[in-house]
Chains A and B, each alone.
Chain A
Amino acid sequence: MTMVTETISSCSRPRLVFLLVFLCATFIPVEHCLAQGKGGEDMEQFEGTCPYTKGERELEQKLGYERFGFITWRKGEDSTTIQETMGAIPMLWVETPHFRIGSSLGTFKLDNDREQRTRLKGEFSRLKGKLGKLRAPKKSLDPYLRLHLYAQRAEELYAQFMEDFQIDPEGLPANAPHLGHRNKFLLLLCQRKSEYGRYLKSYEQIEAPFSYRTGWHSDGMIVALSQESVSEPFEDKDLPFDVMLHCLLANTLASSFVDGFEQNLFKAPPWVTYGLAHVYSKRVDPHWTYFDARRESQINYADAWNWEPRVRNLVQNEFFTTTEKMLGWTTYADLGARDHMIAWSKMQYLVEVAEGDRQKFLSLACRPLSSTELGDSEPNKEPALRQRRALQEAFGLTPEELDEAWGSWVSKTYKKR
């Protein structure tokens, strides 16, 4: 204490302030930090009964739930064993027509973001339509409501995919009704990185810091996400993180629908997978594409999220990756920043504008050619050959014709910066 007094008496004012701040920062007891901090993830306890369905089976059925509370997972695991492996944390489980969902998402405090509130209003209204009554919360989304919202969001994304690709559910094989898989899509929504990390380590023997998706032959696919990974890179803790997680959900589910379609298991062309992923994410909210959401610096560029004028410029300068070149992409790493925008725009054109047989396109573009179909061609030419055939047979377009038609649509439709 003597030393501090002496230092104070010999210091100029700014240095004094600095010293005091330094001392406060250094000697704040941890408990005090706890009261002020925002950085960690609280271990919130969930209510025993859902306040929206109140345990009534009829209401659960109206929400389309086949099971609510206890569900089976995969390979002899169920919600109880999974929950134990993930650290015996509070979790909610539900099985919808196309998904098995586990969620440890906690209460989310709503801010005054007008767009977020408008979007939620629509989502509440659709939930209300099923439940009969729903008092829309004004301040926060509790864990049960978040589960209902994410179940609804996942099913809506699935329905969107079926509609975009004109897929008739009756036309899917009886033993593989889930876009060609026997089992439903697994969706794991984690509040913290810790339970997410434990799941991946135990069941997938992998560490994936941001999000994870994979699939298994004659089985199904999984998407695992964590809210903490989405919000962690941002210093501004008042950003609409629930919207960002929703965008990430749209992105990862769309990629999985494509990569899993008819059990192609990641044989789908990357431009189709990631292009569609951006289309779906931008339909939720154009500001938070998966590609941007991880880079805080992007926030500083006010219009970096607005891809339309940027793609328009690239088309006008003829500085874009041609479809012919895109047919040669084999992994995510093949796409540069501008390529993501181009893939998004071309997929937007194919699923929203171009006339043709979209299901056929998806099916042909994702299924590797047999040796008979390949004929004398070199095996490494197979992916490009199949995509060229898919474009031709489904849309009647060569890669060059696609670029021309798409370019002309971009110039007419996208606004200037």
Chain B
Amino acid sequence: MIPKVVRGPSSKGYLKMTWDYPVYTPAVVEDSTGTTARAVRKALTREEAVKYIAGDDPRPLLILRECKVCNGTDEALLKGGADNEKTFLLSAWFHCVKLPVDVMEADHPFHNMFQQEQPEHLFVCSIDGSNHNPLESQTSRTQLWKSMHGLLDAEYTKGPKSSLKKITGLLGKLDEQDARLDILLSRQEQILEEDGPESRKLKKLNGKIAKEEAALSKLNEAVQTAYRLQLKRQADAKQAASEESR
């Protein structure tokens, strides 16, 4: 039997999807008498919707719509476990957005994000709406990863492949480090509670803890460095700015 991979708290911090839940707030209209009225809800154009959803986040978009009837891709994406770690790790290079069930109503501000005859539950696209890649509910994990990789290769100056490999390797090391530290911290807590702060056992232990904490912090820095990829749009904008200033 293959042993189950149990991730420590540090790894778990990287193995989660951070979702954004944008809500369109139309401007409140004030008439000449000073009374305010709620604007009538209406769909934005696709361009307006993409721009609003992307906001200030320059990362490509991964958009998921919730569904009353099925829970298709949502379920597969959110399902934890060792076999889905790649999805979670790749998601950090995306701005992940969850849209509500009523986005399918014609007057929902973000309705025009879904223009296919059979609206998809999940898609990835660039922040200007280009490179739209719908993922149907029949999508397998490998197809999902291929789509994610495809857009990341197009959007970042360097694809995520080698970073991903590095990060995956570092997760195992983080787990080991967490486990080591956990044992030492529990021991420290026990000594403090049972023998008090003057215990002679503490000095050596505190030194060990400091050493292991430094090692953990180094590993986390390595993960952060591996995650740092530059977006082509940002690189282009920088170059344009420097050319302009010349």
A21 within 8 A of B: yes
CB neighbours of A29 from chain B (8 A): 138-140
The one of B68, B78, B192 in contact with A40, judged by C-beta atoms closer than 8 angstroms, is B78
17 A-B Cβ contacts within 8 A? A21-B2, A26-B140, A27-B141, A29-B139, A30-B138, A33-B76, A34-B76, A37-B75, A40-B75, A84-B102, A193-B19, A194-B19, A197-B20, A202-B23, A295-B9, A296-B12, A313-B194
Which A residue sits closest to B7, measured CB to CB?
Answer: A235
Residues of chain B within 8 A (CB-CB) of A88 are 100-102, 105
Cβ-based interface call for B79 (8 A): yes
Residues of A within 8 A of B21 (CB): 194, 197-198, 201
Interface residues of A in 77-96 (CB under 8 A from B): 81, 84-89
Interface size of B by CB at 8 A reads: 48
**Would A26 and B142 count as touching, CB distance under 8 A?**
yes
Report chain B residues within 8 Å CB of A112. Answer: none
A7 contacts the other chain (CB 8 A): no
Specify which chain B residues have a CB less than 8 angstroms from the CB of A297 in the assembled complex: 8-9, 182
Instruction: Say whether A394 faces chain B, with CB atoms less than 8 Å apart.
Output: no
Q: How far is the CB of A43 from chain B (nearest CB, A)?
A: 5
Contact status A40-B74, CB under 8 Å = yes
For B192, list chain A residues within 8 Å (CB).
317, 319, 338
Q: Is B169 part of the binding interface, using a Cβ–Cβ cutoff of 8 Å?
A: no
A86→B57 CA distance, assembly (Å):
22
Asked if A89 contacts B193 (CB within 8 A), the reply is: no
Q: Which residue of A lies closest to B135 (CB)?
A: A30
Known pairs A30-B73, A34-B71, A295-B9; list 6 more (Cβ under 8 Å): A25-B83, A39-B78, A232-B16, A296-B12, A301-B186, A318-B196
Contact of B72 among A30, A39, A89, A193 (CB under 8 A): A30
A22-42 residues with Cβ-Cβ distance < 8 A to B are: 25-31, 33-34, 37-42
Q: Which of A31, A194, A296, A317 contacts B98 (CB 8 A)?
A: A194
| Partner of A25 from B23, B141, B182 at Cβ < 8 Å | B141
Which residues from 1 to 52 on chain B have a C-beta closer than 8 Å to any C-beta of chain A? 2, 6, 8-9, 12, 16, 19-23, 25, 38
> Inside 8 A of B155's CB, which chain A residues have their CB?
none
| Shortest beta-carbon distance from A42 to chain B in Å | 6
A413 at the interface (CB under 8 A from B): no
- Given A297-B182, A313-B194, A318-B196 in contact, is the A30-B75 Cβ separation under 8 Å? yes
Instruction: Give which listed residue, B100, B105, B193, contacts A313 with CB less than 8 A.
Output: B193
* B119 close to chain A: CB less than 8 A: no
A29 to B197 Cα, complex, angstroms: 56
Enumerate chain A interface residues (CB-CB to B < 8 A). 17-18, 21, 25-31, 33-34, 37-43, 45, 81, 84-89, 193-195, 197-198, 201-202, 232-233, 235, 295-297, 301, 310, 313-314, 317-319, 337-338
- Verify A34–B70 contact, CB threshold 8 A: yes
Residue B221 lies at the interface, judged by CB distance under 8 Å to chain A: no
| Contact indicator A39/B101 (Cβ below 8 Å) | no
Q: Which residues of A contact B141 (CB under 8 A)?
A: 25-28, 30
Docked-complex contact A317 and B193, CB < 8 angstroms: yes
Contact A30 B140, beta carbon cutoff 8 Å: yes
Known: A194-B98, A201-B23. A235 touches B80 (CB 8 A): yes
Chain B residue with Cβ nearest A83:
B102
In contact, A37 and B101 (Cβ under 8 angstroms): no
| Bound form: Cα–Cα A17–B2 in Å | 8
Residues of B within 8 A of A17 (CB): 2
Q: A197-B19, A313-B194 are in contact. Are A87 and B140 (CB under 8 A)?
A: no
Which of A40, A81, A235 neighbours the largest number of chain B CB atoms within 10 Å of its CB?
Answer: A40
B178 to chain A: closest residue by CB: A297
Q: Does B219 have its Cβ within 8 Å of any Cβ on chain A?
A: no
Partner of B79, one of A26, A40, A318: A40
Bound-complex Cα distance A195 to B68 (A):
14
Kindly report which residue of chain A lies nearest to residue B75, judged by CB atoms. Answer: A40
User: Contacts of B230 on A, CB cut-off 8 Å?
Assistant: none
A195 vs B140: C-alpha distance when bound (angstroms) = 28
Known A17-B2, A202-B23, A319-B197; contact A33-B75, beta-carbon cutoff 8 A:
yes
Bound-complex Cα distance A337 to B74 (A)? 36
Kindly state whether residue B195 has any CB partner on chain A within 8 Å: yes
Q: How far is the CB of B66 from chain A (nearest CB, A)?
A: 6
Q: Name the contact of B71 in the complex, choosing from A21, A26, A43, A198 (C-beta under 8 A).
A: A43
Tell me if A233 and B68 are in contact (CB < 8 A): no
Asked if B2 and A33 make an inter-chain contact with CB atoms under 8 angstroms apart, the answer reads no
Taking the nearest CB of chain B, how far is it from the CB of A121, in angstroms? Answer: 33
Q: How far is the CA of A297 from the CA of B140 in the complex (A)?
A: 33
B239 at the interface (CB under 8 A from A): no
- Rounded to whole Å, the gap between the CB of B83 and the closest CB of chain A is 4
- Whether a CB of chain A sits under 8 angstroms from the CB of B206 is no
Q: Is B67's beta carbon under 8 Å from chain A? A: yes
> Closest 9 A-B residue pairs measured CB to CB?
A87-B100, A317-B196, A88-B102, A25-B83, A197-B21, A40-B75, A39-B79, A30-B76, A33-B76
- Assuming the contacts A26-B141, A194-B19, A194-B66, asked whether A31 and B72 have C-beta atoms less than 8 A apart, the reply is yes
Contact at B76–A37, with CB atoms within 8 Å?
yes
Alpha-carbon separation in the docked complex, A318 to B198 (Å) = 11
B143 CB to closest chain A CB (Å) equals: 9
A residues near B8, Cβ cutoff 8 Å: 297
Task: Produce 1/0 per residue, B94-127, CB < 8 A to A.
Answer: 0000101110010000000000000000000000
